[in-house]
Structure 1
Amino acid sequence: MTKETTSFVYVTYILSTPEKVFEAITKPDVARRYWDHENVSDWTPGSKWEHVRANEERTVELVGEVIEVSPPTRLVITWANASQASDPASHSRVTFEIEEYENMVRLTVTHDELEAGSGMAKGISKGWPAVLSSLKSFLETGRGIDLSAKPKSA
């Protein structure tokens, strides 16, 4: 029996260049400025990558493998909670497509092969919009958004 899967797609337009968007995703010192995490890898196909919290503890929260790299237009990685690294069935896939679009970039993030109804599927549906909004703000203004912000009560 195969598990039911789902996917999540988010598209945003950023006043930037493909090179700067790609760098913001793959360079740890840039990613920490809008994501509060660093994406650490040598970014070659078959290499591991780690999503490391950018604080004193340096907790590795997510892990995966680099599947495809075509700077500055495409990056494909697998994605799993660090606690599930040894279970390939728990891994999903993230594809970053970076397309020049007149004087801006169209960034499409597709997170697929997610187990339907899983905690990961629920988490990324809230996480990706916040992270990608922060990426957009950072590249356009030099400042990311507060990813720990919570809705104001009515």
Structure 2
Amino acid sequence: MDDIFAALAHPARRRLLDLLFERDGRTLGDLERHLPQDMQMTRFGVMKHLRVLEDAHLVTTRKVGREKHHYLNPAPLQLVADRWISRYAAPFLRAMSDLKTHLEERTTPMTPSAPRHVYELYIRATAQAVWDIITDDAKTPLYQHFNMTSRTDWRVGGSIEFLMGDRAVIAGEILALEPPQRLTMSFHARWSPEVAADKPSRVTWEITPVGTDACKLTLVHDGFDGETATSKAVVSGWPETLSRLKTLAETGIPFAMEPAYAPAG
């Protein structure tokens, strides 16, 4: 975690994270233009600071055509919270996630072709081990938000449902199944009338081996029809899900977390 705290130590890097907090998916030029006057620097200087944030996994990037889009990656900060904070202040962390959602409601929409949410973290487990967890319905409640269960027909074109009790709160279809590196599914939220009215979006899990006993997990949630109720709601759930998945893959022990709120019934 030393690299996280070192990356946060510089005010310019904190400001870059603030800009991504206000609106995800910014390009280098956009970030450069929106730095305050007292932090103006060369394009190369901005690139250096972004590289430090990327190395600490606080920022992740995605190429769209010739442009690189930058995303705030909250997963490492969630891990810090899990270690020292969540036992005492989980409701306040949820409030911070809700604040991010509230701020995003006021900002200019991103380029439609750019992914809406991108999360990235490294796991001390093989790609196969992580794949075996996310494609095993029996393990879903050990890491999923709200301890949801799932019911899946594991083939391309097969259905997938995430349930709370007997109620399906997310429904989708398997769009790509490439073990042990890529899983793509459509995502139709149904936990409230607001999200149920949205068109289905898309979730992609990408697992890249790093050496022999570790991997990089990237989750991309895109395909939204603009700023939808679903795109705003999922901000709170994914960091917790990924944090719990990492704990489970590395230790074999589920990380229990009491939710600060529940979806509307």
TM-score range for the pair, normalised by the shorter chain length: 0.7 to 0.9
What amino acid does structure 1 have at the position aligned with 2:157? G
Question: Are 2:122 and 1:24 aligned?
Answer: no
The one-letter amino acid paired with 1:131 is T
Q: 1-side partners of 2:148 and 2:178: how far apart?
A: 22
Q: Percent identity?
A: 28
- Does residue 75 (structure 1) correspond to residue 186 (structure 2)? The answer is no
Say yes or no: does 1:51 pair with 2:158: no
Distance (Å, rounded) in 2 between the aligned partners of 1:50 and 1:127: 16
- SS of the residue corresponding to residue 95 of structure 1 reads strand
The answer on whether the counterparts of 1:25 and 1:39 sit within 8 Å (CA) in structure 2 is no
Q: Which moved more, 1:112-121 or 1:18-27?
A: 112-121
- Report the RMSD for the aligned CA atoms in angstroms: 2.3
Q: 2:148 matched to which residue of 1?
A: 37
Per-residue deviation at 1:89? 6.2
Match of 1:112 in 2: 222
What secondary structure sits across from 1:125 in the alignment?
coil
| Residue type of the alignment partner of 2:174 | V
Q: Residues 47 and 137 from structure 1, CA distance in 2 versus in 1: closer, same or farther, beyond 3 angstroms? A: same
From 82, 95, 98, give the equivalent of 2:204. 95
Instruction: Identify the residue that residue 66 of structure 1 maps to in structure 2.
Output: 174
Greater RCO, 1 or 2 (C-alpha within 8 Å, sep 6+) = 1
Residue 144 of structure 1: how far off its partner (Å): 3.2
Aligned length: 142
Shift of 1:27: 0.8
Report if aligned partners of 2:116, 2:224 keep a CA contact under 8 Å in 1. Answer: yes
- Secondary structure at the counterpart of residue 155 of structure 2: coil
Q: Tell me, what secondary structure is at the counterpart of 1:105?
A: strand
Q: Give SS of 1:115's match.
A: coil
Deviations 1:58-97 (A, max 9, x none): 321100111010111100000012378xx89610000110
Letter in 1 for 2:116: S
Equivalent residues of 1:11, 1:108 under 8 A apart: yes
User: Residues of 1 paired with 2:186 and 2:253: CA distance?
Assistant: 28
Choose between structure 1 and 2: higher helix proportion. Answer: 2
TM-score normalised by structure 1 residue count: 0.81
Q: Which has the larger radius of gyration?
A: 2
Which secondary structure does the structure 1 equivalent of 2:236 belong to?
helix
TM-score by length of 2: 0.49
Measure, in 2, the Cα distance between the counterparts of 1:114 and 1:28.
26
